[in-house]
Amino acid sequence: MLGLSKWGGKEQRILHVISVSGGEATEILNTYRYAWSPDSKELALLSRSAGYGKNWMPF
């Protein structure tokens, strides 16, 4: 799924949307900038980053 999401006042291309279940998303959350879907069941991967849990933002 491609689209644009606001991030820090800028729009960025969504790289990939994944379903979230269990602990398999831990590495993704540690290495990508991401945005949660409104129901908190999917993530939109925006870009790689070195953040650890500091990049939370809603769609």
Query: What pLDDT, on a 0 to 100 scale, did the predictor assign at position 54?
Result: 46
Separation of alpha carbons 36 and 39, rounded Å: 8
**Strand, helix or coil for residue 28:** helix
Confidence grade of residue 37 (pLDDT, cut at 50, 70, 90): confident
Q: Which amino acid is at 2?
A: L
Separation of alpha carbons 28 and 32, rounded Å: 6
Residue 39 has pLDDT above 50, yes or no: yes
Query: What pLDDT, on a 0 to 100 scale, did the predictor assign at position 2?
Result: 38
Separation of alpha carbons 53 and 33, rounded Å: 9
Separation of alpha carbons 23 and 41, rounded Å: 13
